Amino acid sequence: MDFYIHLPKLPKEDETVIGYEFKMRPGGKGANQAVAAARLGAKVFFVGRVGNDFIGPMLLENLRSNNVDVSYVTVDQSTHTGVAFILLNSRGENMIAVAPGTDSRVSTEDVDRASQAIRASQALLLQLEIPIETVAYAARRAWESGAVVVLNPAPAKPLPEEVYRYVHVMTPNRVELAMLAEGKQSQSQSTGLSDVVKMAHALVDRGVKSVVVTLGRGGALAVTQNSAVHIPAFEVSPVVDTTGAGDVFTAALAVALAEGRGIDEACLFANAAAAIKITRFGAQSAPTRVEVERLVASARVDVRKLE
């Protein structure tokens, strides 16, 4: 669950800023992605855990109302449901702190319970708000079943080398890319495209088939062994809330790939979905397929090959 405080500006270290609004909205990277994929028309199974508290039932009902199958969600008695506190300024920029709770207890046993759904799926979408060991196990199981494995490596953390060989598409932002490629704790969001391509190739060399780097207002960069293509962002206004934009992008990318689209076309589709999302409040305010297809058809975007 996301707890929002709206502020005139984001606080600095040791600074208290008085806000003007509070809201509570369903969140969590996995759930954000599941809802976004379902709204785009995919049949979605969610694998995870919630706590036995007042938040868990609210989140499950939200998933059900968005046509996400929750048959593989466990109610965990041992700790609280995952929560995030989001500070949001008037420009839609944010700072986020997360207390994982049951997220940190999603296990390989949970993956095994969902094995039938994984075998029946065209794609498995993963993120790093659950244990790395579970991510690695799920990626291998889905890869063995022939599904497209899409990993959003956020929040940024090092990955076991074995994970790379089981991932078809990885979707880091610049900060996450630098962490994975160079082991750096931070990286400027203004890093040039040539440097981004170089770091992306380092992940491809480890076994990832495609690395799609999200660039915010700069769109996305799709890098494979033999090519690098820049797909610009769609221009939209006003920007209301960027929270969850990366989740919507990755979900839309996974849906497009599961439908058999090529990586460049899938990135265009994903850019459009993320663009619509940032004009709306809430991490799960993802667009419908009709809205995304309408934006793709109405706006001209010049895809550019870099190599």
- At 165-181, the pLDDT tens digits run 999 999 999 999 999 99
pLDDT surpassing 60 at residue 148: yes
pLDDT surpassing 80 at residue 185: no
Task: Calculate the dihedral angle through the C-alpha atoms of 125, 36, 223, 237, rounding to the nearest 10 degrees.
Answer: -160
Q: Where does the pLDDT of residue 192 fall: very low under 50, low under 70, confident under 90, or very high at 90 and above?
A: confident
CA 153 to chain centre: 8
**What stretches of 189-236 adopt beta strand conformation (E)?**
210-214, 220-223, 228-231
Q: What pLDDT sits at residue 3?
A: 93
Known catalytic residues are 247
Predicted TM-score of the model (pTM): 0.90
How many domains does the chain contain in total?
1
CATH of the domain at 12: 3.40.1190.20
% of the chain surpassing 90 pLDDT: 81
Q: What pLDDT sits at residue 190?
A: 55
pLDDT surpassing 60 at residue 194: yes
Compute the average pLDDT of residues 275-285. Answer: 91
Instruction: Give the pLDDT confidence of 92-106 residue by residue, as tens digits.
Output: 788 989 899 999 999
Contact 39, 287 (CB under 8 A): yes
Q: Which residue has the higher pLDDT, 298 or 40?
A: 40
Q: Which domain holds residue 12?
A: 2-305
